[in-house]
Structure formats: C-alpha cells, structure tokens
Chain A
C-alpha cells in the first residue's frame, strides 16, 4: 500500500462522509433554507474531496483538468439552484422554523 493509496482512501472516505452528512442535514433540518445550506455546502466539499482523490490516480494533465472542471461546474450549478430554491421559497414566503417547531405551529402563528 503506497502513500498515494492511503491519501486516496482518506480523501474518498472523507468525501463520502461529507455526502452522508449533507443528506442527514437534508432529512433533519427544520426548514427549506437550512436544508439548502446542508445540501449545497456539504455535498460540494464531498465532491471536491472525491475529485482530488481521483486526480491522484490520473496520468494526463487534460484528464485532471476535466475532473476539476466537473467540480467547478457542479459548484456553479448547485449554487445557482440553491439560490433559485431559496428565492422561490422567499417569494412564497415560506416560514423559517426552529428545530422543535412543527409545520402547523408556524403556519398558525403566521395566520
């Protein structure tokens, strides 16, 4: 087992971990705004770590550049889609919720 393989394993496992944490946030966070936060931030970092791990295995410069480009494009797309979801949620005036509040409580408080 070479040093490269160890580094790759560490990067891949941490990357996957970040994906898991992002998904956990999506399930556990109370409202749309904080869910977007979990998805767009943690998943981008996770993908970045996985891309870095893959680059260690690549011989050609062009292929490494392509992998980095994928990461950059996904970051751009997720930033934009996150912004759009938040923008639309704001337009529909979806309420901000605290962790222990249920949806009914918020809607009755707003009425």
Chain B
C-alpha cells in the first residue's frame, strides 16, 4: 500500500515536471511548476524530511511561483500566447533533453552503488548535539557545525537582491504602490497579518527544537510583506532605497559580527563558546529571518515595478 502511494506520488511528480516544461501556454507552465513544488513538498514529508518540505513549499512553490507569475505579467501579450514553433526544431530542446537524460543515468548509477558503511554521520551529530546550543539536529548542522556554509548562502541571497536592483530597467520610475481597494481584504488583513508574523516567529523559535528555522520563517515573513504591499499599504520601500539595502545586509552583518566576535576569544571563525551557543544562534537566526523576508519581498517589488507601469499604460 505504501509503495503504491510512493509510486503514485512519483508518477504525478514526473507528469507535473513534463507539463511545466512542455506546456505551450506560459501561464499553464507556471501553474504546473507551482504544483510540482507542492508535490515535491509532499514527497519530502514522505521521506521524513519536514524541514526541507517546509522550505520547498514556502520558497520553491510559494515565493518562486509568485515571482514567475510576476515576470509573466510583465511580458508583452505576444509572448504569453502559445508557441507556434515546434519544440523539436529548436537545438536547445535537444541539448536540454540530452543533458537531463545523461544526468538521470549518472544519478541512477550513483544511487545503485552500495553505500560505504564505514562512515556514519548520524552518530557524531547526535553526540555533539548538547554542545551545539540547540536541540534540533538540522538547525545544529545549519548554524553550528556548518555555519560557514549558511553564512555564504545568506551572502548569495544578498547578491541576488543586488543583481535584481541593477537589472531594474527604468531607474527613474518611482515604485507604484498597487491598490486593491477591497474593504473585505483590508478587514481580513488586520486579522491575517499579525497571525502571519506570529507564525513566522513561531517557525523561528521552533527551529531550535523541531522542524523550522530561519529560511522557513523568512519566507512566511516575505509572504506577509507581499500581502501587505498588494493590499495597497505604503511601505518605506516606496521612497527610500536606503531602507531596502539596509534590510538586505542586516542579517549578513549580524552573522558576520557574531562570527568575528568568536575570533576575539581565540576560537575559529563562528566557533561559538559553549555557554553562548544557544544565544548566538538565536540572534543570528532572528536577524537572518528578517533579512530573508526582506530580500524575497524586495525581489517581488523590484520586478513588480515594471509590470505595474505596463498595466497602467494598458488601462489608459
């Protein structure tokens, strides 16, 4: 029975992937991509990896889906129509097909290789958990054992935001606030927004002992910001690019600062002393959550800018 569920999930996943690539209408392709993310999240849960499932649902399906829809709305109408040229005639189609097929073959061979049983990573991770400052092994790996990797990941995110800012074509256009003057939406937002902030902080707090953490909390925060923005509320982002940039680097700088502080005590970079490990991790995660939320929101707003000016022109 369980195998049947797994096989059905894999089959649906494959179909979603195929539809999202082969769909001739861009909008359909995006919807199938979002569904693909949700199916992936369910499969991660089946694989007992709720942390990745949460991140996949929030970032992979949610935020990426919104960004794709946003980008699609910016395209001139002729680009959103169905393709007329057959895909088989394009060389990039065959290139992509060969590349993905060979990757699949290599991965299949790799999975079928017997695992080397001499290294067991689980045991040392659990043994050192008391010294890490948190109770959840995933958070311990992300923010203590391998915190340098996470630091670099945050740096990559900041870089993405900077690239998005520089890609903005119309520098002189002020960011318009969209208005959705729906009274029910505004009434519900007074209820939803505090709840979204609460959920975000809960995910952050829960990360110390159970699935959750900065990335999941950050994407929920970004969703709250996007709702707030779409409902037509004014945000500081509209007027001051300085706030924008400050928000981006806040998490990274707190992370770096804590890392450098550990250098003064004579330890390695980001090697927190035992008694401060929990507090350091909490401060870093809190700052990083705010920054991740802000960066994802900025990506949305920066791409929204152009699309809205198009919509306004069309309406006039």
Contact = CB atoms under 8 A, between A and B. Distances in A.
Contacts of A87: 182
B191 A83 contact: no
B188 A76 contact: yes
B184 interface: yes
Contact of B185 (A73, A76, A84): A84
Contacts of A83: 182, 184-185
Nearest to B189: A80
A44 B215 CA distance: 30
Interface in A49-82: 73, 76-77, 80
**What's the dominant secondary structure at chain A's contact region?**
helix
Interface residues of B, number: 8
Contacts of A84: 180, 182, 184-185
Interface string B170-208: 000000000010101100100110010000000000000
A73 B191 CA distance: 11
Contacts of A77: 192
A64 to B, nearest CB: 18
Nearest to B195: A73
A84 B180 CA distance: 9
A76 B184 CA distance: 11
A79 B195 CA distance: 17
Nearest to A91: B182
A16 to B, nearest CB: 14
Contacts of A76: 188, 191-192
Contacts of B195: 73
Nearest to B182: A87
> In this complex, which of A73, A77, A80, A83 has the most chain B Cβ atoms within 10 angstroms of its Cβ?
A80
Contacts of A80: 184-185, 188
Interface of B: 180, 182, 184-185, 188, 191-192, 195
Interface of A: 73, 76-77, 80, 83-84, 87
16 contacts: A73-B195, A76-B188, A76-B191, A76-B192, A77-B192, A80-B184, A80-B185, A80-B188, A83-B182, A83-B184, A83-B185, A84-B180, A84-B182, A84-B184, A84-B185, A87-B182
Given A76-B191, A77-B192, A84-B185, 13 more contacts: A73-B195, A76-B188, A76-B192, A80-B184, A80-B185, A80-B188, A83-B182, A83-B184, A83-B185, A84-B180, A84-B182, A84-B184, A87-B182
